[in-house]
Structure 1
Amino acid sequence: MTRRVVITGIGVRTPGGNGVKAFWELLTSGQSATRRISHFDPSPYRSQVAAEADFDPVHEGLSPLEIRRMDRASQFAVTCARDAISDSGLEFEEFDPGRVGVSLGSAVAAATSLEQEYLVLSDSGRNWLVDHTSLSPHMFDYLVPSVMAAEVAWTVAAEGPVAMVSNGCTSGIDSVGHACQLIREGSSDVMLAGASDTPVTPIVVACFDAIKATSTRNDDPEHASRPFDGSRNGFVLAEGAAMFVLEEYEHAKRRDAHIYAEISGYATRCNAYHMTGLKPDGREMAEAIRVALGEARIDGTEIDYINAHGSGTKQNDRHETAAYKRSLGGHAYRVPISSIKSMVGHSLGAIGSIEIAACALAIENGVIPPTANLRQADPECDLDYVPLTAREKRLRSVLTVGSGFGGFQSAMILRDAGGAAA
């Protein structure tokens, strides 16, 4: 008998929405949280806008030692994990720790602290030779991405499978997909899964400037992220995190847990084609969707809503539109689709998990978040991309997808599990 996997706890930290309630209110309002970069002076850069989270580690309850030890991305992950645990109502001390695991995703891990340390040691890049004796004692924590997953594991003394997934911008879907597979195969009963990234730093901004992937709409930050709009000119960089408590369904049922959604299908593919380029036919994403539908044992016509990758780059949005037509046929023209990156930006590896949270809440509330700033439709993106205003609809099956540098294409199916596990 196949073990089913459900979401029983959610924690999020996003631009404009620290916590589930604020996050959901932002999404349903159709308002964007993008703004001019405030973490540093963005004047020298091509793109000067981002979606920053108003995150105060002291207010979040982190101790001075935790703040000193953990990179900003780890701080996001740990606070989200604590929220998800509280939301789930699980008493982790009652579990066999060997049956509890962690699967965390991130694209650039501790980029914030690594850059800060380099700036200190090199006098903001003025010195070629740096004084290693002034190095932070926590540099190992910043250099090795797996430390982030370990930090989350320590919050619940998890001694089961603990993994760090770094597949670029699909990391947040793939980390949750990996966690589901561990529960299904019987390696664990409970997983803390999700992703965190805080890439709004000079070096990351400069990297995306170099390949002209980010928006230059610096005079209008709030409307810079325009997925599927004919005037779009790149994505808006962001930071954020989302973490989930995932449980085996029968386990959740025995304790009468509240269930947001069941994760019923997942697949990932790679185009083996180009580091940043996408083939226009969307074949690899379509294949990931097909396999995820097969694992969920549903037909494409049963999908009630698609949470798009919708980055706002010319090639991604066209590639994605083609993938939906290829995988869903005529139903692609009938199913509502939207991109929350129009409101919370693109937080690289974290966004896939943030979008899973949006899907679970959409199922829970029967509301489809809109694509903000979509006023001038691209004729090549001719599907129902839910412009500007949220839409009420009962949702039984939801598809969320991700597309990442390196050619990664991932898809996940979430289904209504009926709320309480009864």
Structure 2
Amino acid sequence: MGVLSPGGQGTKEFWSLLCEGRTATRTISFFDPSPFRSQVAAEIDFDPLLAGLTAREVRRMDRAAQLAVVAAREAVADSELSFDELDPSRLGVTIGTAVGATTGLEREYRVVSDDGRLHQVDHRYATPHLYDYLVPSSFAAEVAWDHGAEGPVAVVSTGCTSGLDAVGHACGLIREGSAEVMIAGAADAPISPITLACFDAIKATTNRNDDPAHASRPFDATRNGFVLGEGAAVFVLEPLERARRRGARIYAEIVGFASRCNAFHMTGLRPDGAEMAEAIGLALREARLRPTAVDYINAHGSGTKQNDRHETAAFKRALGDHAYRVPVSSIKSMIGHSLGAIGSLEIAASVLAIQNDVVPPTANLHSPDPQCDLDYVPLSAREWPTRTVLSVGSGFGGFQSAMVLRGEPS
């Protein structure tokens, strides 16, 4: 796997931040945020040239595509897989993203419209790569070109569950025989004025601007919205037996995945958590596991009141009494909500929890919401035997996804 996250670039830095309970949320530095209600975000200190991209690649790719390509390169190197010996038609790519090249599109619109003064924009001032910003499929194409993938290549865009769904889709392609190896994950770089304006309009993001380091507070009674973030996480997936034959280091096995939609409301959630609970149940059944097998839940935990309560109800509905015994945490408390990318970052955190028998904490959780009465691992990481992890996602539009990961049998 490869990870680019606020607070640290690379898998080791990502895991170190989570284990230490450090927060990477701060006042936005990419542009002047003063006109906006929410002025905090979790930014990555990312220099694409230092990360190994060429000047031409930087010019061609939106920031989110850059993150995807760099994370994929880390994952491929980490896999120690010889791509030269692999039939390129058996290698595929799936990349998840919620908002695509938002950063690049907004920047270019400001150029061609002379900062919005021209109703009829002047195309002569646009980058020649503007079309690549328009179509999110360019993200997956860039990764595919970088590694010679000629098998199934696609972008999955299901809002905030994109990072889970892209990896789940890749698993399905391997299981059905359409690919032998998949490079799968997600990337988003949504920290831009247009994104802030969109979330300001529905008051989904926090306005706790005077204390950005403690602004993301999932499951806390004082929470008042999520903190926007950015990031990428990418994995190399292959059948278990194939990985064993080549002596690969296996982080975890994906044993169950399911996705549902509540067909209810664009941003609203039913309080009973029925659709998320159904996705959890289906994922556990595919894994052939009982609810009591779950050792840790990596929650969506966005820090909005309705989401946290909806999730709590879903865990109780799906796991029964075991929901009160299993530790739960939200890494969004530390790295913010990177929309489509966060599901893959949460898979990475889940895998590392399995590898290290450590549950990352929910930072900033000082005053638990009485309606969120499970074990949310406040403030400090916890050493905990962790073989089976449930990771869930919830997205605008009613998307609900669940994935079960398990450590490789010894």
Fold shared, TM-score > 0.5 on shorter chain: yes
Structure 1 window deviating more from structure 2 (410-419 vs 244-253): it is 410-419
- What secondary structure, in the 3-state scheme, does the structure 1 residue paired with 2:151 have? coil
State how far apart, in whole Å, the 1-side matches of 2:147 and 2:338 are: 26
State how far apart, in whole Å, the 1-side matches of 2:241 and 2:90 are: 15
Q: How far is the alpha carbon of 1:127 from its aligned partner?
A: 2.1
- What secondary structure, in the 3-state scheme, does the structure 2 residue paired with 1:192 have? strand
State how far apart, in whole Å, the 1-side matches of 2:68 and 2:83 are: 18
% identical aligned pairs? 69
State how far apart, in whole Å, the 1-side matches of 2:150 and 2:112 are: 36
Structure 1 window deviating more from structure 2 (220-229 vs 125-134): it is 125-134
Match of 1:331 in 2: 322
String of CA shifts for 1:64-112, please: whole Å, max 9, x gaps.
1100000000000000000000001011111000111001100001001
Match of 1:194 in 2: 185
Match of 1:271 in 2: 262
Is residue 388 of structure 1 aligned with residue 403 of structure 2?
Answer: no
Matches within 5 A, 1:5-404: 10-404=1-395
Is residue 408 of structure 1 aligned with residue 409 of structure 2?
Answer: no
State how far apart, in whole Å, the 2-side matches of 1:247 and 1:188 are: 9
Q: How far is the alpha carbon of 1:130 from its aligned partner?
A: 1.5
Question: In the alignment, is the contact (CA less than 8 A) between 1:77 and 1:152 conserved in 2?
Answer: yes
- What secondary structure, in the 3-state scheme, does the structure 1 residue paired with 2:253 have? strand
Gaps of 5+ in 2: none
| Matched residue type, 1:137 | P
Question: In the alignment, is the contact (CA less than 8 A) between 1:259 and 1:418 conserved in 2?
Answer: no
Q: Which runs of 4+ in 1 moved over 4 A?
A: none
| Matched residue type, 2:297 | I
Gaps of 5+ in 1: 1-9
Aligned residues: 410
Give TM-score scaled by structure 1 length: 0.96
State how far apart, in whole Å, the 2-side matches of 1:154 and 1:369 are: 35
- What secondary structure, in the 3-state scheme, does the structure 2 residue paired with 1:219 have? coil
State how far apart, in whole Å, the 2-side matches of 1:136 and 1:31 are: 38
Structure 1 window deviating more from structure 2 (182-191 vs 277-286): it is 182-191
String of CA shifts for 1:287-344, please: whole Å, max 9, x gaps.
0000000000000011000000000001000000000000000000000000000000
Q: How far is the alpha carbon of 1:418 from its aligned partner?
A: 4.3
State how far apart, in whole Å, the 1-side matches of 2:26 and 2:85 are: 44
Q: How far is the alpha carbon of 1:132 from its aligned partner?
A: 1.5
Question: In the alignment, is the contact (CA less than 8 A) between 1:340 and 1:355 conserved in 2?
Answer: yes
String of CA shifts for 1:126-183, please: whole Å, max 9, x gaps.
2222112222110110001101100001111001111110000000000000000111
| Matched residue type, 1:151 | E
State how far apart, in whole Å, the 2-side matches of 1:265 and 1:231 are: 34
String of CA shifts for 1:169-205, please: whole Å, max 9, x gaps.
0000000000001111111111000000000000001
Match of 1:3 in 2: none
Q: How far is the alpha carbon of 1:43 from its aligned partner?
A: 0.3
State how far apart, in whole Å, the 2-side matches of 1:357 and 1:384 are: 21
Structure 1 window deviating more from structure 2 (72-81 vs 127-136): it is 127-136
State how far apart, in whole Å, the 1-side matches of 2:8 and 2:125 are: 37
State how far apart, in whole Å, the 2-side matches of 1:341 and 1:152 are: 26
State how far apart, in whole Å, the 2-side matches of 1:53 and 1:327 are: 35
State how far apart, in whole Å, the 1-side matches of 2:391 and 2:297 are: 6
| Matched residue type, 2:123 | H
| Matched residue type, 2:131 | F
- What secondary structure, in the 3-state scheme, does the structure 2 residue paired with 1:164 have? strand
Q: CA RMSD in A?
A: 0.7
Question: In the alignment, is the contact (CA less than 8 A) between 1:14 and 1:344 conserved in 2?
Answer: yes
Give TM-score scaled by structure 2 length: 0.99
Question: In the alignment, is the contact (CA less than 8 A) between 1:339 and 1:371 conserved in 2?
Answer: yes
State how far apart, in whole Å, the 2-side matches of 1:277 and 1:12 are: 31
State how far apart, in whole Å, the 2-side matches of 1:126 and 1:401 are: 43
| Matched residue type, 1:65 | R
State how far apart, in whole Å, the 1-side matches of 2:237 and 2:218 are: 30
State how far apart, in whole Å, the 2-side matches of 1:237 and 1:67 are: 23
